[in-house]
Chains A and B, each alone.
Chain A
Amino acid sequence: MKFDAKSLLAFVIPVGLILVWQALASVGLIATEVLPAPTAIVAAGWRLALSGELWTNIGISAWRAAVGLVIGGGIGFALGLTNGLSRLSERLTDPTLQMIRTIPHLAMIPLVILWFGIDETAKIFLVALGVFFPIYLNTLHGIRTVDSQLVEMGRAYGMSSWGLFSRVVLPGALPSIFVGLRYALGIMWLTLIVAETISASSGLGYMAMNAREFMLVDVVVLSILIYALLGKLADSIAKWLERATLSWHPAYLHV
Chain B
Amino acid sequence: MTVATLSGRARANVAFAPTDRGPPAQTPKPGAGAQISIRDLSKSFGSKKVLTSLDLTVPAGQFLAIVGRSGCGKSTLLRTLVRLEEPTSGAVMVGDGQRGVGRIMFQEPRLLPWQRVVDNVRVGLSKGLPTAESRAQAMDALREVGLADRAGDWPSVLSGGQKQRVALARALVSRPKLLALDEPLGALDALTRIEMQSLIERVWLEQKFTAVLVTHDVAEALALADRVVLIEDGRIALDVDVGLPRPRRRGSAEIGALEAQILDHLFSAGGRPSDDRPGLEPGPVEYEKAYA
- Spell out A's residues near B (CB within 8 Å): 149-150, 152-160, 163, 167-168, 171-172, 174, 246-250, 253
Contact = CB atoms under 8 A, between A and B. Distances in A.
Contact of B154 (A156, A157, A168, A253): A253
B51 to A, nearest CB: 19
B155 to A, nearest CB: 8
Contact of A157 (B103, B156, B157): B103
Given A149-B108, A171-B114, 5 more contacts: A158-B126, A168-B112, A172-B114, A246-B114, A248-B155
Given A158-B99, A158-B100, A253-B157, A153 B110 contact: yes
B112 A149 contact: no
B104 A156 contact: yes
Contacts of B99: 158
A157 B124 contact: yes
Contacts of A174: 114
Contact of A248 (B83, B123, B127, B156): B156
B207 interface: no
Interface of A is mostly: helix
A31 B124 CA distance: 72
- Contact residues on B (Cβ < 8 Å of other chain), bracket: 20 to 34
B115 interface: yes
A230 to B, nearest CB: 31
Contacts of A154: 123
Contact of B156 (A153, A155, A159, A253): A253
A248 B104 contact: no
A1 B106 CA distance: 41
A249 B113 contact: yes
B84 interface: yes
B112 A155 contact: no
A156 B112 contact: no
Given A157-B123, A158-B126, A149 B110 contact: yes
Contacts of A250: 156
- The interface centre, meaning the residue of A171, A248, A249 with most chain B CB atoms within 10 A of its CB, is A248
Given A158-B100, A163-B127, A171-B112, A152 B156 contact: no
Interface in B70-129: 82-84, 99-100, 103-104, 106, 108, 110, 112-115, 123-124, 126-127
Interface string B155-176: 1110000000000001000000
Contacts of A156: 82-84, 103-104
A144 B145 CA distance: 34
B110 A150 contact: yes
B154 A152 contact: no
Nearest to A152: B84
A154 B114 CA distance: 14
- The interface centre, meaning the residue of A154, A156, A158, A159 with most chain B CB atoms within 10 A of its CB, is A156
